[in-house]
């Protein structure tokens, strides 16, 4: 078996250390060494460069303007006000002044120069945040439905999501040595009981949905857990496996796939089942061809029946038949609503997931002011929006006043189509992008909105997804209307996905 180049890099990395320390110390370039660009993903960062000015810098015989994106691990998307304030401060001091809310409920900071990378990660750690395993061939940020109106159930499901995230973290101390200046204890050696020396063949994603909301697009994940409640209590999960959005143009053996529902697992057994699924992928995934290395391909190659039997054998218990549930949407519900704990929750539309101030509204400033006194939480949704959660009755009016003063409420009057549009970051910083996404989607929505208004459809919550490449970060293949970049200004158009995230769309125009 001829291992892929990345597998060889992992093998020689000394448990994800590589030469990252040496790369960071090299002041002659804003970049890091080629092998380290792969390893730093496991630490939650991607090296990027500004493609808008790449040609001009070449003319000036300068290297590209390199910078780094840091993806911050936020299990279940729940952050404290102090954590929000720290992300706000770091984005202004070291980033490009904005915060990107990702489609996996994580914070992303863009535009961080190499010399500021370590300081930024240290700053995150001071607020009890980290970026370990936010990228790379490991389990990434575990998603969880925001579902604010089922407060008690959400609290339990969120707790389990956090437990899964912590349970599947890499065991290596490389992250703490490189970024937090921790010393490796003499005489000790690294081990990875779950992942092994080579970690997983490819990235791995887990999401937990709480019906009737499928706001996490549970079927788009390697593992999807659908919470089952009885008499208001969480009893277990329907287990789905093998979902994934990415594909490669021109390669028919790559494709998006919805996760297959294979049975029900009681809540006290679910962490065991999740771990064994990860290990099955570790042992059987394709390590020769990264384009065919996700769990979905492992399942389709070996068979779903084989996979289920292998899982039951490793778990030493049988899966029960799936239990009934019903999804009603995979979008967000905007505005105020009251939870079963009598606290209030405000879901705000954040276009493109980009938290910033503009000449017409000041979202970033408003959220900063709210975070200074808010004693609840902030919840990042899987649709790039934000929930200001667990608001007491006395603070509700104050939050509304701050949002009005900063003209944020005016952005909440957007059409239903705009509120249900998702875009990945794409250009100018993503090195994989073929075409625009976040910067262009608002203009495209303007055009579609005019057509909807002419046909009296402006209140229909049509889901639009746009990505700059077919890797699927914005889950475009689950959009009722999906656009996937092929080249500058050119997209494939996909139509017909299910409104609740249970059916893929099809390409109708290239």
| Catalytic residue (one of 135, 144, 240, 473) | 473
Instruction: Based on the residue annotation, tell me whether 140 is a catalytic residue of this protein.
Output: yes
Alpha-carbon distance of 267 to 260, in angstroms, equals 19
Instruction: Based on the residue annotation, tell me whether 203 is a catalytic residue of this protein.
Output: yes
Please list, in sequence order, all residues whose beta carbon lies within 8 angstroms of the beta carbon of residue 386, skipping any fewer than 6 positions away: 101, 347, 348, 350, 355, 367, 378, 379, 380
| Catalytic residue (one of 140, 287, 356, 465) | 140
Query: Terminus-to-terminus CA distance in the chain, angstroms?
Result: 37
| Catalytic residue (one of 135, 144, 240, 424) | 424
Q: Give the number of other Cβ atoms within 10 Å of residue 38's Cβ.
A: 19
> Are 46 and 102 a contacting pair, CB within 8 Å?
no
Instruction: Based on the residue annotation, tell me whether 240 is a catalytic residue of this protein.
Output: no
Residue 234, strand partner residues: 229
Instruction: Based on the residue annotation, tell me whether 469 is a catalytic residue of this protein.
Output: yes
CB half-sphere exposure, 393, CA atoms < 13 A:
2
Alpha-carbon distance of 199 to 304, in angstroms, equals 23
Biggest CA–CA distance in the chain, Å, is: 72
Instruction: Based on the residue annotation, tell me whether 93 is a catalytic residue of this protein.
Output: no
Sign of CA dihedral 210, 215, 216, 217: positive
Alpha-carbon distance of 18 to 31, in angstroms, equals 15
Instruction: Based on the residue annotation, tell me whether 362 is a catalytic residue of this protein.
Output: no
Instruction: Based on the residue annotation, tell me whether 135 is a catalytic residue of this protein.
Output: no
| Catalytic residue (one of 17, 41, 114, 203) | 203
Locate all alpha helices (DSSP H) within 193-341, ordered by sequence: 270-284, 295-302, 304-315
Helix or strand (DSSP H, E) at 506: strand 506-509
Instruction: Based on the residue annotation, tell me whether 205 is a catalytic residue of this protein.
Output: yes
| Catalytic residue (one of 100, 368, 469, 475) | 469
Structure letter (DSSP) for residue 357: B
| Catalytic residue (one of 10, 71, 296, 475) | 71
Catalytic residue numbers, as ranges: 71, 140, 203, 205, 424, 430, 469, 473
């Amino acid at each position: 078996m001829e291992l892929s180049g990345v597998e060889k890099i992992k093998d020689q990395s000394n448990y994800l250390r590589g030469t990252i320390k040496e790369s960071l110390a090299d002041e002659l370039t804003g970049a890091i060494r080629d092998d380290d660009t792969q390893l730093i993903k496991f630490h939650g960062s991607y090296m990027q460069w500004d493609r808008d000015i790449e040609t001009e810098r070449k003319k000036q015989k300068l290297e590209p303007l390199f910078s780094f994106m840091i993806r911050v691990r936020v299990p279940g998307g729940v952050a404290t006000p102090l954590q929000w304030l720290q992300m706000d401060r770091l984005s202004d001091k070291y980033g490009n002044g904005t915060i990107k809310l990702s489609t996996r409920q994580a914070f992303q900071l863009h535009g961080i120069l190499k010399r500021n990378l370590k300081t930024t990660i240290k700053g995150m750690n001071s607020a009890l945040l980290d970026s370990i395993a936010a990228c790379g061939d490991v389990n990434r940020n575990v998603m969880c439905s925001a579902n604010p109106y089922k407060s008690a159930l959400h609290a339990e499901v969120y707790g389990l999501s956090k437990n899964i995230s912590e349970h599947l973290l890499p065991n290596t101390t490389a992250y703490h040595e490189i970024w937090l200046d921790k010393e490796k204890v003499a005489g000790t050696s690294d081990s990875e009981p779950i992942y092994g020396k080579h970690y997983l063949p490819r990235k791995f994603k887990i999401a937990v949905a709480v019906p009737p909301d499928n706001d996490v697009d549970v079927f788009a994940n390697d593992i999807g857990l659908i919470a089952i409640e009885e008499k208001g209590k969480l009893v277990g999960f329907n287990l789905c496996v093998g979902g994934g959005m990415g594909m490669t143009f021109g390669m028919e053996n790559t494709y998006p796939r919805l996760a297959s529902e294979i049975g029900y697992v009681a809540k006290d057994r679910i962490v065991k089942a999740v771990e064994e699924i990860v290990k099955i992928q570790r042992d059987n995934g394709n390590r020769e061809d990264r384009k065919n290395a996700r769990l979905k391909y492992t399942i389709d190659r070996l068979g779903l029946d084989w996979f289920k039997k292998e899982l039951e054998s490793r778990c030493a218990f049988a899966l029960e038949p799936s239990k009934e549930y019903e999804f009603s949407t995979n979008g967000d519900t905007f505005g105020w609503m009251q939870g079963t704990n009598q606290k209030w929750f405000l879901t705000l539309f954040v276009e493109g997931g980009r938290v910033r101030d503009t000449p017409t509204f000041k979202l970033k400033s408003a959220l900063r002011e709210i975070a200074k006194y808010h004693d609840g939480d902030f919840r990042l949704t899987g649709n790039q929006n934000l929930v200001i959660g667990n608001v007491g009755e006395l603070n509700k009016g104050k939050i509304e006043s701050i949002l009005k003063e900063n003209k944020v409420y005016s952005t909440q009057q957007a059409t239903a189509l705009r509120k249900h549009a998702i875009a990945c970051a794409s250009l100018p910083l993503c090195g994989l992008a073929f075409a625009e996404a976040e910067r262009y989607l608002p203009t495209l929505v303007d055009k579609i909105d005019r057509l909807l208004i002419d046909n009296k459809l402006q209140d229909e919550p049509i889901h639009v997804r746009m990505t700059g490449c077919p890797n699927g970060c914005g889950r475009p293949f689950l959009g009722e209307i999906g656009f996937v970049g092929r080249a500058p200004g050119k997209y494939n158009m996909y139509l017909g996905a299910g409104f609740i995230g249970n059916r893929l769309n099809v390409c109708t125009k290239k």
